[in-house]
Amino acid sequence: MQDYNLKRAKLIIWDLDETFWIGNLAEETANFSKSNMKFLEELVTRGIMNSICSKNEFDKVKTKFLMEGYEKFWNYFVFPSINWMPKGERVKAIISSMGLREENVIFIDDNEINIQEVKFYCPKIMTAYSEEIEHMKKDLYLVNDYDFEHTRLAQYKILEEKENDKISNNVSNEEFLKNSEIRIAIKKDCTENIDRICKLILRTNQLNFTKNRAEREDLLKDFEDKDKETAYIIVEDKYGNYGICGFYVLDKITDTLKHFLFSCRILGMGIEQYVYSYLNFPKIKIQGEVAANLEEEKFPDWIKIDNNIVAKELPQRTLPTDVNILFKGTCDLLSAIDYIKAENCTIDTELPYWNKDLMYILSHTHTAFIEQTHRMPKSELVELSFKFPFPNPDEFKTDFFNPKYDIIFLSLLSNSFSGLYKNKTNGEYAVFGFANCDITDVKNWPQTLAAIPPELKAKNLQMLKQFKEENVFAGSPPIEETIKNLRYIRENLNPKTELVLILGSEKPTNKISEGYEGVCESHQKINPIVRDFVKGYDNISIIELSELIENDDDYSTCVNHFSRRVYLKMAEAFAQFANKKIGKKCLTVNTQDLATAQ
């Protein structure tokens, strides 16, 4: 079973021999994996740091990188630990030096003993064997966070330099802090920096004392509230500028901190205690585990306020042509875009994935859910997930209606097989399971409950009874709902955004997976109606999967799952459409793979 989640990762610690590179350095058989080096660079660009824990000689490893012209890639690593000592304590030391939590770290190794030893010292760490790296590369699309200027890497390089100085100077921690010339600025222009503050709130755990995960709209209300004091903190010392790495919201009426959080990269500097004392020790309800204690009357005298400090973080740059493309849909898109490369454009994806609670997030690809998520207030959307495990709150996260997109490729496959239900009171939707298994029909309950553990069957049966009372099955396929939702989607997108609908195959197959029975017939019913609908718009186009199917070998397990050749043809169709629409090359496909797949 997969023991890692790339979306949670802030650091990956690599073994070298037979993991990062092919072969063994001591045996002079080590050869760099170009694919792994590209993956390393992409990780850094998405703000995921990388370190090394290898049983080798430090100088020989560094020389290997430099002599083969890979100094850039060597510099992508922080806090490398390269010696012949056991790995467990070394991995623990790397994590501690970077101020991270074990659960946000992935350790990759080819040796079972090393992995078990690291797990002994770091019980909460995520792990992966070297053969899982290829799968990890395919998961990278899930990390939709970018740090093009490698600001985060630069800040961890500062931490690395500080750690080396502390060790070489052999001084106490407090003496080292006093010699570091730490200065902070407490700034009140929060609205101008709301994007950075939002990211800080979402990413920070170690030094997030209140753990209130506020959205942009919530923060704006706090910024405008005269009864609240809001500020962000910039930190700088003689080693460099750490950027915006702290934030608080103080309710002045109750003298209570609503938000009080700091980036883990300033862990151990005393910043959080200084700001707490600066605010005169207000009331605070600390939530969960925190990596530092707040003490009454303690004042770190090695820190000074200097409000002339500015955040020297470079803004995230956009790619040269400012072309933005979104792929949203089921696993057909995931398999196809694996063969696509961006040329001077940005690709975003909203595809199915397993969330941290091991729930498969899929409903957000259904047109009914897209419409509902845009139309309804966030508070009402969250209420939908209170009674039942679907929809999951993760399925409300979307950038679909962002006006920046030049093209949105939207697969309609989930409309043909997903079960759609309508609330009898308010008409809102729930998407669950398959369209050929109505869970409001008591005859289908044994099938629905079949995979549920015995001890949970009674609870789930009660849930089904309640769901039946409150909802009605919307039909299979819900053609009228689909057209209504497509009309809403088109009218609420930027008129300049080209909406490209991917229609499922209408060519029958004998290959049928459970849940996909009758899906081909659904495509045959819904596709003609969608084609008629599209005729009324000059900013909607269609890609027909039927045109890519030559024979039954083009299906793998059912009408919605295809051979490698079809996915490559899909990639080619996406690239051809985008390049023609934009007027220059923005998507490319590996043509060698296309030739091989014929």
Catalogue all structural domains in the chain, each as residue range(s) with its CATH number.
6-146 (3.40.50.1000), 153-157+168-305 (3.40.630), 323-435+477-597 (3.40.50.1110)
pLDDT in tens, 380-432: 777 777 666 667 777 787 889 999 999 999 999 988 888 888 889 888 878 77
DSSP 538-558: SSEEEEEGGGG--SGGGEEEE
Q: What pLDDT score was predicted for residue 296? A: 81
The stretch 314-330 carries a mean pLDDT of 65
For 418-433, the pLDDT digits (tens) are 888 888 988 887 877 8
pLDDT interval class at 537 (50, 70, 90): very high
What pLDDT sits at residue 591? 58
**What's the confidence (pLDDT) of residue 542?**
97
User: Would you say residue 593 has pLDDT above 50?
Assistant: no
- Mean pLDDT of the region 277-305: 89
Global pTM reads: 0.50
Q: How many CA atoms lie within 13 A of 242 on its CB side?
A: 27
* pLDDT the model gives residue 2: 63
Which of 503, 488, 500 shows the shortest CA–CA distance to 539? 500
Pairing of strands 182-187, 228-237: antiparallel
Instruction: Dump pLDDT digits (tens) for 96-105.
Output: 989 899 999 9
72 versus 313: the higher-pLDDT residue is 72
CB 350 within 8 A of CB 398: yes
Q: What is the residue type of 417?
A: F
Higher pLDDT, 314 or 545: 545
- Which DSSP letter does residue 584 get? S
For the chain, how long is the longest CA-to-CA vector? 77
Residue 72 to residue 38: CA distance in whole angstroms: 12
Strand ranges inside 263-362, DSSP E:
303-305, 323-328, 340-342, 345-350, 353-354, 360-361
Q: What backbone phi and psi angles, to 5 degrees, belong to 337?
A: -75, -5
Q: 353 or 119, which is more confident?
A: 119
Q: Give the Cβ contact number of residue 365 at 10 Å.
A: 25
The percentage of residues in the chain with a pLDDT greater than 90, rounded to a whole number, is 47
Interval 1-37: pLDDT, tens: 467 888 889 999 999 999 999 999 988 899 999 999 9
Tell me the backbone φ, ψ of residue 106, rounded to 5 degrees.
-115, 130
3-state helix/strand/coil string of 338-372: CCEEECCEEEEEECCEECCCCCEECHHHCHHHHHH
On average, the pLDDT of the chain sits at: 87
Instruction: Work out the number of other CB atoms within 10 angstroms of the CB of residue 567.
Output: 24
Highest mean pLDDT: which of 130-144, 240-254, 452-466? 240-254
Alpha helices in 376-471 (DSSP H): 378-384, 413-417, 445-449, 454-470
Q: Contact 398/365 with Cβ under 8 angstroms?
A: no
Rg value, the chain, Cα: 27
Tokens of 142: 């899930």
Q: Determine how many CB atoms are found less than 10 A away from the CB of residue 317.
A: 9
- Rama region for 343: left / alpha / beta (φ>0; ψ in -120 to 50; rest): beta
Residue 80 confidence (pLDDT): 96
